Amino acid sequence: MSEGAEALDLSFEFADSFLEELPSGHILVRPSEGEEPTAYIDPAWAQDADGNHVDTRFSIEGDTLVQHIAPSPVGAHVVSDPYIRDVRKNGRKIGQELVFTRDETSIISLSGLPACIRLAAKGGPVSTAIGTIGCGGALLIASHANNTGRCLTLRAIGSPYAPNLIFPYATSC
């Protein structure tokens, strides 16, 4: 956006889906209300080309997610991109990721298993299940991620016919 630019609204359609905003600002995408999520979207974010925070938020209009983005405070171009956390193979969803923030990764690396499970629960039932199972093996990875300025991620991959395989790794954040 250039100087004097107006606010921008971006729409992302999830055809025939039920969208739910969590108190944390995350968005769950479900085939219908109450079913297991097919995607988990991070809270809205935007920054300008100079790295300045730009006010933004999501709203839900039926099966469409709308991101409302304010102009840059200094008139620079604005970058935003909803981060949808799921795992797909050959176009089919086969799992999900639970990505902790830098602060959460630090808390987990210093406080251990109870902190990991508590922080995972903020993302809802699927995140709680991933966190409860995956947190046990995540403490060393959380420490490594914290020491290298990255974030702890728990990935669950599975199929309808087998239990999920959950593994931790460090990712950029």
Task: Please report how many Cα atoms fall inside a 13 Å half-sphere around the Cα of residue 58, on the Cβ side.
Answer: 26
Q: Count Cβ atoms within 10 A of the Cβ of residue 72 and give its class: 0-12 exposed, 13-18 middle, 19 or more buried.
A: buried
75 and 95 co-located in one domain: no
Give the Cα separation of 133 and 10 in Å (integer): 36
In a domain, 131, yes or no: yes
117 and 97 co-located in one domain: yes
Domain limits for position 49: 8-84
143 and 165 co-located in one domain: yes
Give the Cα separation of 135 and 67 in Å (integer): 32
Query: Which one of 84, 117, 151 terminates a domain?
Result: 84
**How many domains, in total, are found in the chain?**
2
**What pLDDT score does 82 carry?**
66
In a domain, 1, yes or no: no
In a domain, 3, yes or no: no
Do residues 171 and 151 touch, judged by C-beta distance below 8 A? yes
Nearest Cα residue to 96 out of 63, 120, 72? 120
CB atoms inside a 10 Å sphere around CB 21: 16
**What pLDDT score does 3 carry?**
45
In a domain, 120, yes or no: yes
132 and 108 co-located in one domain: yes
pTM of the entire predicted model? 0.52
120 and 151 co-located in one domain: yes
**What pLDDT score does 85 carry?**
64
**What pLDDT score does 146 carry?**
92
71 and 104 co-located in one domain: no
Q: In the chain, which residues have pLDDT < 70?
A: 1-5, 36, 81-95, 122-130, 158-164
Sign of CA dihedral 93, 168, 172, 44: positive
Give the Cα separation of 116 and 139 in Å (integer): 8
Query: Which one of 25, 55, 84 terminates a domain?
Result: 84
In a domain, 141, yes or no: yes
125 and 109 co-located in one domain: yes
Query: Which one of 63, 84, 105 terminates a domain?
Result: 84
**What pLDDT score does 158 carry?**
65
26 and 65 co-located in one domain: yes
Q: Model confidence over 75-85: pLDDT tens digits? A: 777 777 666 66
